[in-house]
Chain A
Amino acid sequence: MQAPSRTRELLVALFLLGALLLAPPLLIIFNQAARVFGVPTLYLYLFAVWAVLIALVALAVERRHAANDLAEADANVANKESGEAAGEPSDA
């Protein structure tokens, strides 16, 4: 049995992970002229992270129970949301 709001927490974690992986400090590591599998490192890294992120979100929201997790009683969710929003830089 999953914890009731696991899907929500998973999504927030993925958001933070995405924001981290697709922003400068980590981008610098892959910012090289060299090519991997024939493709410039940075291009490959960005598209790979992007694709994996989408795949993980798809897995998270399309699992069994996910729909129920997400649709759980909205009342007790409203409180959590304010905390989650704080994690989104664009909110400021």
Chain B
Amino acid sequence: MLSGPVIITVAFLYLGLLFAIAYYGDKRADQGRSLIANPTIYALSIAVYCTSWTFYGSVGRAASTGVDFLPIYLGPTLTFIVAWFVIRKIIRISKVNRITSIADFVASRYGKSFQLGGLVTVIAVVGILPYISLQLKAISTSFSVLLDYPEIVMPTTPASAVFLQDTAFYVALIMGVFAILFGTRHIDASEHHEGMVAAIAFESIVKLVAFLTVGLFVTFGIYGGFGEIFAQAEASGALSRLFIIDGVAAYTSWITLTLLAMGAIVVLPRQFQMLVVENVDERHLRKAMWLFPLYLLLINIFVLPIAFAGLLHFPQGGVDGDTFVLTVPMKEQRPILALIAFIGGLSAATGMIIVETIALATMVCNDLVMPLLLRVGRLHLSERRDLAGILLTIRRATIIVVVLLGYAYVRLIGESYALVTIGLVSFAAAMQFVPAIVGGIYWKGATKAGAVAGLTGGFLVWTYTLLLPSFARSGWISQSFVENGPLGLALLKPYALFGLAGLDPIAHATIWTLLVNVGLFVGVSLMTFQSIIERSQAVQFVEIFKRSADVGRVWRGRATIGDLKELLVRFMGEARANAAFARFERENKRHLHDHGPADSDIVSYSERQLAGAIGAASARIMVASVLREEMHNIDEVVQILDEASQLVVYSRQLEQKSRELEAATAELRAANERLKELDKLKDDFVATVSHEVRTPLTSIRSFSEILRDNPDLDADQRHKFVSIVVQESERLSRLINDILDLAKMEAGTSEWHMADLAPKAVIEQALAGMAGLFAKARHVSLETRIPDDLPPIRADADRLTQVIVNLVSNAEKFCTKENGWIRLEAWQEAGFLRVDVKDNGIGIAKKDQEKIFERFQQAGNTLTDKPQGTGLGLPICRQILLRFGGAIWVDSEPDHGATFSFRIPLSQSGAEAGAATFETAQ
């Protein structure tokens, strides 16, 4: 009953159902009622991880080596425990940057680099191609095994068959069509393929149900449960060796497989597509964290029972372990069950092919072909209107090329390997992305050069240790390359590089590639520096949770918003471009005019939208072309920085200047204050002088008038009045002389005749001139104590006389009328001549002691008492002594007399002589 047409009809019905689901999913998405916006669908879509390798290959590997198929599923379980930290970060980064593939992610992280995007794409295509071919091989093998029912015959090598009769060829084509229909319907900034995701989730259910059905039948239908299968296996003797892990090499392989799977669950292009690109809400990850591992657990529960059942059913061998899922039900004469198993395998294989080709096509288009086209034929291509069409064409062509290459790989190489081994070769290739990605999202210092070096190194080692030996197995190159090393160099044997022997090839290759990759990545990163765009991308990636907005780019734009819109229309079509701009307006509450200048926000936004369609690197070029090539290259940016730092210098100078100005202003203000004070002093002085001058004038005038108006005054009266007039005139002229004298001295215009003087002579001469005064005032005695050996002083003789006369006459004036005495003493005092004039007069109150040296200030109440002098004597004395370099002061108590003291510096020779005298005195 399992004839060819029946199997093919069922298979096509299944594929038709898949198309219908995908179509329905897309339709619902267009209506805005998403089918896939829930965490369960998300978790199921991630289960695209379980391919025909899981479905058929795990059993095959379990049948040959026991439990070591498990690390491939334990690794993802471990990664998913921390998915909230690692995968969510990648999702967030990708959403913010509109990243469409793993190549885009790496390129974007390291400065939107073409080189890296292209490199990752090449590694992905070369590395994943065997994996796609593995799926095709599984389908064609399972089909031909099923076709021979009820016989169990292993397929002969399909190389003998004409490829037009080969199922794998048609399956490849159908998968290509599916991928084109649901993976490249339109160029969308979000790159969500909802129909495709819905179909994949459905396929995940189908393959799980199919496998569980077979597993339940085998375990509980054929045998009486797990215990019985294992008991029989143990009884059969040889099989119990599969119960344990055997030896150090097996443990090493256990660890490396766990590591490979931990990385692969994120970095395999189809996993990245499903986990990251197709993710509609990062909160879905929370449920997926346990639901997806649970799926893995369920699909693996019956692997060991089926494997042992197979081994027990076909004890003589001759049946490939990879087919046990089919052949055990066939042996048990259960054609329906076998058909269910076939559909399960088909769903596992098709799901993988669809997602993988879409992911690879996006990568090839955005990160390999577009950048090349834009570079080579940029002048023409960037002028083209309908670029969306070109993009879609490139992707569709890529899908067909990828599936056909996959088919070619099966025909040429695939037969020589078991399913799992082919898959693991791909895992090891994908693993090369892990250092650049994990380093890229946690280490800001990782540089483009480091990533390029790590990826290239790792890929070359992978090629040498896994790809070339697989060619050797297929007979393309000599088998001795593997056995003896190239040119017989045993140290370079690809499966035992540098003597690392005894490991299985995958573990061996994983160790060497990771060593070289991580070493170069870290080492070169530490030795090189980031460009400015690399730096800004690195910061944005690592600190994605701190700030989600794009780090503003540096550009000097003259482009208008209309230019940007036109660009988006060319790549995304009118409707989608307009929708994108409308969303920007809504989110930013701005209105965009076509002729308005494009600011950094709208430029970054447009670039991200475009990146969603054509990849980050190409988007950057296209936006740059619209900005009229005015995107800054590094030199320009550095120039801007230079200008900025010059501005800083200018502003510092400005600050300096303004500080100086402030200081000058303060000085000016102080000077102004001083001037104001001087002005006030001058006013006071003029007022005082006027007052002082008017007093004698008034007196002179009034007596003169009396004399004029009364000609008959008697002679005595007349004489008395005339005397007063004369006295007052004398006083007036004295006052004016003093004023002039003081003014001259203060202005520094008076003449000074400085000379070395003998003090004793000058003092005695001055006192002699006053003899008349003391003759009149007999009640006052004058006493002098002047040593003979006083050293000479430097002074003006007339001025010094003036000082002495002033002081002595003052003393005389204020002396008590009875028993008054004045004592003048002079002596030498540390380089000075000191003179004291002491009296026993009325004394001076403390508060007046400083005042009396100021102009027109006299002790006592000047309003009531008759002024005793001009009020200028002491100020003149002070001026004279200041001029001599000396000083004058007073020491007094009221009613106990006063002591006026002054000192004058000795002349140069006098000082020496004085010092000599002082010394001899000692």
Contact = CB atoms under 8 A, between A and B. Distances in A.
Contacts of A24: 251, 254-255
B525 to A, nearest CB: 14
Given A40-B230, A53-B81, A22 B294 contact: no
B438 A43 contact: no
Nearest to B80: A57
Nearest to B62: A43
Interface string B48-70: 00000000000000000001001
| Residue from A38, A54, A70, A85 with most neighbouring chain B CB atoms (10 Å) | A54
Nearest to A25: B251
Contact of B79 (A41, A43, A50, A90): A90
| Residue from A33, A37, A41, A61 with most neighbouring chain B CB atoms (10 Å) | A61
Interface in A19-62: 19, 22-24, 27, 31-33, 35, 37-43, 46-47, 50-51, 53-55, 57-58, 61-62
Contacts of B435: 92
A35 B244 contact: no
B336 interface: no
B286 interface: yes
Contacts of B290: 54-55, 57-58, 61-62
A90 B245 contact: no
B243 interface: yes
A31 B245 contact: yes
Range, interface on chain A: 35 or more
24 contacts: A8-B85, A15-B78, A15-B82, A23-B254, A23-B255, A27-B254, A31-B244, A31-B245, A35-B227, A37-B227, A46-B67, A50-B74, A53-B77, A54-B77, A57-B81, A58-B294, A61-B287, A62-B287, A66-B286, A81-B442, A85-B438, A90-B259, A91-B442, A92-B514
Nearest to A15: B81
Contacts of A71: 283
Nearest to B438: A91
A42 B434 contact: no
Nearest to A88: B82
Contacts, number: 145
Nearest to B260: A90
Interface stretch (B528-536, B543-551, B644-652): B543-551
Given A38-B231, A77-B545, A90-B263, 6 more contacts: A15-B78, A38-B228, A40-B230, A46-B70, A61-B286, A78-B544
A42 B245 contact: yes
A61 B289 contact: yes
A11 B81 contact: yes
B226 interface: yes
Question: Is the contact region of chain A dominated by helix, strand, or loop, or is it mixed?
Answer: helix
Interface in B274-316: 283, 286-287, 289-290, 293-294, 297, 301, 304
Contacts of A33: 234, 240, 243-244
Contacts of A35: 227, 230-231, 234, 243
A2 interface: no
Nearest to A38: B227
B911 interface: no
A84 B84 CA distance: 11
B255 A78 contact: no
Contacts of A8: 84-85
A75 interface: yes
Contacts of A37: 227
Interface string B763-776: 00000000000000
A55 to B, nearest CB: 8
| Residue from A8, A22, A47 with most neighbouring chain B CB atoms (10 Å) | A22
B112 interface: no
A84 B441 CA distance: 13
B258 interface: yes
A85 B84 CA distance: 11
B745 to A, nearest CB: 79
Contacts of B75: 90
A30 to B, nearest CB: 9
Nearest to A92: B518
Given A46-B70, A84-B85, A90-B434, A78 B543 contact: yes
| Residue from B262, B263, B289 with most neighbouring chain A CB atoms (10 Å) | B289
B258 A22 contact: yes
B54 to A, nearest CB: 15
B262 to A, nearest CB: 4
B78 A22 contact: yes
A39 B301 CA distance: 12
A43 B243 contact: yes
Interface residues of B, number: 53
Nearest to B254: A24
Interface in B542-588: 542-546
Interface in B68-99: 70, 74-75, 77-82, 84-86, 89
B243 A42 contact: yes
A67 B85 contact: no
Given A31-B245, A38-B227, A75 B78 contact: no
A38 B301 CA distance: 15
B43 to A, nearest CB: 12
B225 interface: yes
Interface string B822-862: 00000000000000000000000000000000000000000
A50 B77 contact: yes
Contact of A27 (B245, B289, B442): B245
B251 A38 contact: no
A67 to B, nearest CB: 7
Contact of B297 (A12, A19, A54, A62): A54
A85 B86 contact: yes
Nearest to B92: A74
Contacts of B546: 74-75, 78
Interface in B579-623: none
Contacts of B234: 33, 35
A67 B84 CA distance: 11
A74 B545 contact: yes
A29 to B, nearest CB: 12
Nearest to A89: B259
Contacts of A85: 82, 85-86, 438, 442
A82 B442 contact: yes
A82 B435 CA distance: 14
A24 B228 CA distance: 28
B64 to A, nearest CB: 16
A14 B81 contact: yes
A61 B289 CA distance: 8
A-B CB proximity, top 4 nearest: A38-B227, A74-B545, A58-B290, A40-B243
Nearest to B240: A33
Interface string B214-253: 0000000000011110110010000010011100000100
A75 B545 contact: yes
A57 B227 contact: no
Interface in B438-454: 438, 442
A19 to B, nearest CB: 6
A24 B68 CA distance: 12
Contacts of B544: 78
A51 B251 CA distance: 22
B79 A54 contact: no
A42 B67 contact: yes
Nearest to A18: B78
B209 to A, nearest CB: 20
Contacts of B304: 43
Nearest to B227: A38
B84 A22 contact: no
Contacts of A74: 545-546
Contacts of B231: 35, 38
Given A27-B251, A91-B438, A43 B67 contact: yes
Contacts of B230: 35, 38-40, 43
B545 A47 contact: no
Contact of B74 (A22, A57, A66, A70): A22
A82 B518 CA distance: 18
Contacts of B543: 78
